[in-house]
Amino acid sequence: MSAATVGRAPLPLYHEGLAFWEQLARECQRHAETVNSIATDHGVDPSQLVELKFANNKIVFVRGVYPSTEITATLNFERWGPLIRIKVTGHQEGELRFYPEEQEVPIARDLDNRIVAVFGEGRSYSPSEVASYLAQHLRRSFPEMSLPCVPAEFAY
């Protein structure tokens, strides 16, 4: 063991946070594909569909045409554990912006020993439910469509 590693304690839930994030990324991909499929069925031009980007612990849903939406989820590791920072921005048209939303969602172990994202008031969400939550912000870009939503697995 080197002197550099002797004084360092591993970050709490580091591996669990990474596993949660990887599953969240897969679920976001599934949701983006489903939203695009529904949009195509509603006659939306392929150039106006949702793009999903992954980079540097970020997942970004982007619809660039008006009404535009950008949803960014970033995985961070704090001293106390993993945290997802969510930011939702967009424009109704031109200079008319939607009010931006920001949220911090810790990843934790719940009382049933599951790794979950914890939203306000202690509600526990699976990666699939977090992906659904993120995708629901695309409503403002597709107001004429019903977007996919997964049933709650263990939100309470």
pLDDT-above-90 percentage for the chain? 72
Instruction: Report which of residues 123 and 59 the model is more confident about.
Output: 59
pLDDT above 60: residue 25: yes
pTM: 0.87
pLDDT of residue 155: 45
Structure tokens at 136: 């629901």
Reported confidence tier of residue 13, pLDDT bands at 50, 70, 90: very high
Q: What is the average per-residue pLDDT within 92-98? A: 87
Work out the mean pLDDT of the chain and round it to a whole number: 88
pLDDT of residue 8: 63
pLDDT of residue 3: 46
pLDDT of residue 134: 95
What confidence tens digit (pLDDT) does each residue in 113-151 have? 999 999 987 889 999 999 999 999 999 899 888 877 665
pLDDT of residue 4: 47
Q: In whole angstroms, what is the distance from residue 155 CA to residue 50 CA? A: 27
pLDDT of residue 11: 83
